[in-house]
Structures are given as structure tokens and as C-alpha cells.
Amino acid sequence: MTREVGGSEGDVSFDPKSWAAPAEGARATKPAASVQPAEATFDPKSWAAGTTPPLPPAAAPSVEPVRRSTAGAPPLVFAGVASALLLLGGGLAAHLTRVPIAAPAAVDAVRPAALPVSAPADAVTASRRTLVVAGPAEVATTLASTGIAPATAAALARSAVSALGDAAGEIRMVLDLVGAEGARRLTRLEATRDDGSGVVLTAAADGSFASEPRQPKLVTQVKVVRGEMDATSFYNAAVTAGVTDTLISDIAKALSYDFNFATDIKAGDIFEVAFEQKVNPSGEAVGAPALLYVWLQTSTKSKALYRFLAPGEAEPGWFDGNGRSTVTALMRTPVDGARITSNFGPRFHPVLHYNRLHGGTDFAAPVGTPIYSAAGGTVVSASPSRCAGNMAIIKHDNGWETRYFHLSRYADGIVAGARVTQGFTIGQVGNTGTCTTGPHLHYEVHIDGQKVDPMGIDTGSGKVLGGDALAAFRNERDRIDQSRAGGPMR
């Protein structure tokens, strides 16, 4: 915007030299240069000592056109200065009648006074920190890192570790601190394990710390998960439904006596599992979950199984609702969640390139998938073969024999003469040997020296509990059913 220089019609200005004392009963007139109506004025020289000069009558407000200048202050600044002068004229009148008039002094810019800053008190600098360390050995250094004096940190660590024990495992520490950085003082320390056990150290007036132990506070919860099989795998369907992944192998083993995962289970089949989990007061899981119940319904059959430790047995087993064990002569599928890629019978061998009897069943699975002993027995051999790669042979109590080919590795302790139980892990799926085109388990069953179809034999039926064992099972079955229905645990 163009800057305008000089006055123009409508500007209001005055010359202090033109002020004249008004005649009695007359009003002062504005200099001719102004085009505004006459307004009252006064002459400071006419003020008499001890008298109060008359205030000029207020002029009627007028609206002036606003002109902006790119160099000067905004019009509102001049308006503010003019208003201030009018107010000073009245407020200083009495004072000026007793004080000689002097040239106006320069007015400095007004700056806001700085607010006083007070030193922070302990209450202002109080803080709470929550730290998790890998084990007891890190408690002392972690406390010292928060600003606590090293000697105090070491003493506190000794007291805490004495209550916590020196076993490995995470420790959760909650620290209440006061004081400024570099001079921190601990008022309370709570150090606990994941099960809630631990100690609380509270500072006393004399600088010592009182110790109060914390006992474990674990609650057992039962979680029920229902899902639907998808076209990918049981593992994927179970995890998607909310099953803890560490339980997948247990579920597969429980069902493997009655279902062939490669042929019996289809997308859309429904399953349900119930497992119990211990949790601490914070709701965090402590320890491994324990599977209680498994149910699977396919288009051809349905099976509900309960986990139960029978009297006199070292390991829990799986039983149907009537107390019949799932343990049969052989497991239907000795590997988790695999799919059949080649059945028993004559075929054109993909590696040898001629027709021959395929003497077993091939289960495709990733390298490292666990392989289980199909029944209890004794290991005849665990050694490599040119075609079969790493091979294990087990002789079972009924005289049958099972063979497992192409293992990537043997489980610890699997050597000739070792005793294994049904479902015991004997090795892992691999791709060893010359007669293989990819990771899989080749599984054979020999009866009286003859190869038979592993998927076609009658695996028999399990034993039924009786007497006190059956009564105990029924109590456990009812407890599990009640917890599945949302009732309290017993």
C-alpha cells in the first residue's frame, strides 16, 4: 500500500502554541487549520495555585477515515496514546497545581516483571518407576542407575534378593523416589516374581528399611476356545481361534488315535478345546497352560476327550466321556498335522523311475516337525540308510514293527535298546536319503514280517477305567464340564 505524506481533509491536528486562555464565559476555538467543530481547550499558564482548573468538556466522538502506513505505527496505537493523554489530563491535574511544570520525560517501554521461581520441594519431585530386570544379578546395578547412592542400592539389592531367591527369571521392581536428579532418595521398593511372590522394602525415619514379604497370588482360570477348520492347516485354524500355540501338539496327539489329520479332517469341521492357565494379580500368565478337553466334529464322526491322570499311571491320558482310553494298538497318525502325499500300494517311483510297491504312507510336513512312536516298544535301530536316510525301527509289545524314514535328526536317547512309550517323540521330519524328493515322513507297519497298509489296519480300542479309577475320572470330567460352562473351578 502506498504511503501518504502530509495532512488532508478529515485529519485532526493541533498546535500547542496556539492554545490561548479563554475569555470569561467564552470557549476556546480550535486553530483554523482544523476542519472539525470547535472544542474546549485550556491554557496551563492560567492555572492558579490552590485552584483546580476546569476540565474541558468532552468532545462528541467522531469517526475518522483510517489510513495505514507501511512505516508508521497502526492507527490503533495513536488512538491509544490519545486516550491515555486525556486520562492523564484529569488524573494529574491536582498534582500539577503543586509541582512546577517540567518538560515531559521520556517513557520507557513497560516490561512484565519476572515471576519468582521457588526451589522444588520433595513432593514436587516425587516419582514412581517400574523396571523389569532379567534376574537377581541385575537388581543392584539397576537401582544404582536410578540415582540412588551405590552403597544404598547394594544394601537394598541384598535384602530383595534374600527374599526373592537367586533362581533365574524376571523380577519386576516398583520404585517410589523423591528428590532432584543426582540426589534421589528411595522411599519404597516392591520387588516381585511373575507369580506375585517377593518383598516390599519401606524407608523408616532413621534411614533403615522395613521388610514385608509378599506371598504368591496365583489364580487358575479355564479358557474355552471354539473354532472352525480352514483349508490351510489345523495349526493355523487353532491359533486363529485363540488357542495358545504351545498346546497345538498336545491337541493333535490327543486326537491322533481317532482321526487321520491328512484324510479325515476338512475345512468347516468344528473343534473346541478347554485349557487352564495360572495368572498373577496383574492378569499375566504364569507357567505353561494345561490342556483339559478336546472335541472335534467332522462330517463322519464326533469325539470328545478328557485329560485324566489314572491311579498308578505316571502320565495323564485321554479318555472319552465313558472312561474309555484313546490308547489303541497304534496311533493313527504318528506326525502332527501332516498331509498324505503317497498311499500304500504299487506306484511308479519318482526317484527310481520304475513301478514298485510303496510299502508305507508318506506324510508331507516341514523339516523339524515332531515324529512320535506309534505305540510303546523297544528301539531296534536308529541309524542311516542309503535310500531311507536317517531311519528308526521300533519293535512293539504285540510283535508289530514300525519304521520311520528320512528323519532330519533323532531325539535325545533314541538308540538301539531304548524303551519308548506310545506318543514319545523319536525324531523330526527331514529330507535325508536318496529316495526322497522333499521333506516328509515315510511310515511303515510290519506284521509278521509283512508290510501292511498303515491306514487300513484295525488299531483296536482302548481299555475302560473301572472301580475307584472310574469314579475319580467322573469327578474330573464333571469338574471340566462345569468350568467349560462358566461355573466355578473346584
CATH of the domain at 142: 3.10.450
- Predicted local distance difference test score (pLDDT) of residue 356: 66
* Nearest-5° Cα angle at 354, 332 to 348: 40
Residue 90 confidence (pLDDT): 47
Are both 196 and 225 inside the same structural domain?
no
- Residue 357, pLDDT score: 76
Which of 197, 214, 231 is where one domain is finished? 214
Specify whether 207 is located in the same domain as 157. yes
Question: For the residues 96-107, what does the mean pLDDT come to?
Answer: 43
Sequence-separated (6 or more) residues with CB below 8 Å from residue 171: 132, 133, 135, 136, 138, 139, 160, 164, 191, 192, 193, 198
Q: What is the average pLDDT across 4-33?
A: 46
The per-residue pLDDT for range 376-390, each reduced to its tens digit, is 999 999 999 988 999
Residues forming a β-bridge with 361: 443
pTM for this entry: 0.54
pLDDT value at residue 86: 41
Q: Are residues 392 and 346 in the same domain?
A: yes
Is 151 a residue whose pLDDT tops 50? yes
On the question of pLDDT at 78 being above 70, the answer is: no
Q: Read off the pLDDT of residues 283-332 as tens digits, 9 standing for 90 and up.
A: 888 888 999 999 999 988 899 999 999 888 888 999 999 999 988 878 87
Closest among 192, 205, 343 to 263, alpha carbons compared: 343
Let me know if residue 86 belongs to a domain: no
The residue-averaged pLDDT of 447-465 equals 85
Q: Which of 111-125, 307-321, 331-345 has the highest mean pLDDT?
A: 307-321
Q: Which of these ranges, 31-45, 317-331, 447-461, has the smallest mean pLDDT?
A: 31-45
In the chain, how many domains are there?
Answer: 3
Q: Is the pLDDT of residue 153 over 80?
A: yes
Is residue 441 domain-shared with residue 360, that is, in the same domain? yes
User: What's the confidence (pLDDT) of residue 168?
Assistant: 85
Average pLDDT, the chain: 77
Same domain, 313 and 352: no
CB 14 within 8 A of CB 36: no
Residue 102 lies in a domain: no
pLDDT band at 445 (very low <50, low <70, confident <90, very high): very high
pLDDT score, position 245? 87
Report pLDDT for 382.
95
Residue 473 in any domain: the answer is no
How much is the pLDDT for 43? 52
Q: Domain span at residue 252?
A: 219-319
Residues 352 and 252 placed together within one structural domain of the fold:
no
Split at pLDDT 50, 70, 90, the class of 122 is very low
The mean-pLDDT minimum among 163-172, 191-200, 203-212, 260-269 falls in 260-269
Residue 470 lies in a domain: no
> Is residue 163, in this structure, part of any structural domain at all?
yes
pLDDT tens, residue by residue, 216-264: 888 888 999 999 988 777 888 888 898 988 898 899 888 888 887 777 8
Ranges 217-226, 256-265, 345-354, 479-488: which has the least confidence: 345-354
Is 203 in the same domain as 244? no
